[in-house]
Structure 1
Amino acid sequence: MGEAREVMNVRQASQYLGISRDTLYRYISEGLIPAFKLGNRWKFRKTTLDRWMERKMALGKAGKKR
């Protein structure tokens, strides 16, 4: 039951990530973000997006080290 609440649609995921829907769709088409289709609509698991953001932040910090 809690698992179902963790699934977001494109609008919710773009707001959660702080990016536009166009950017989110581009990330999907380029395979940059984990998503799955339910029928003809893209869906995102909150826990998966959290892990994705953590990895992106870790890579950003690693890239700034000199």
Structure 2
Amino acid sequence: MAEPWSSVDDVAEHLGVSKDTVYAWLSRREMPAHRVGRLWKFKLSDVDAWVIAGAAAEGGPSD
């Protein structure tokens, strides 16, 4: 079965961060995501791999 696509809300909840943090990562083009129209969509497995690789530790909206 294929992994479902997740929203910004889903990713923020999954990672325990705010939506603002997710949008900050997206604005710096760091987080693995795909734009579908006006919406951002994610595969949680890609996001998890990105976090494990240490990319999330490089900053949030306060950087």
Q: Which SS does the other structure have where 1:22 is aligned? A: helix
Give the share of equivalent positions with the same residue, in percent.
28
Tell me the equivalent position of 1:12. 10
Pairwise CA distance, 1:4: 4.5
Aligned length: 57
Mapped to 2, the partners of 1:23 and 1:50 lie a distance apart of 15
Q: Normalising by structure 2, report the TM-score.
A: 0.77
Aligned counterpart, 1:55: 53
Aligned to 2:35: 37
How big is the shift at 1:50?
A: 1.4
Structure whose residues are more often strand by fraction: 1
Letter in 2 for 1:54: I
Q: CA RMSD in A?
A: 2.1
Give SS of 1:13's match. helix
Structure 2 distance, partners of 1:10, 1:31, is 14
Q: Please name the residue that 1:63 is paired with.
A: none
CA distance in 2, matches of 1:40, 1:3: 23
Give the TM-score, by structure 1 length. 0.74
Paired residue for 1:64? none
Q: Residue type of the partner of 1:8? A: S
Compare CA radii of gyration and give the structure with the larger one: 1
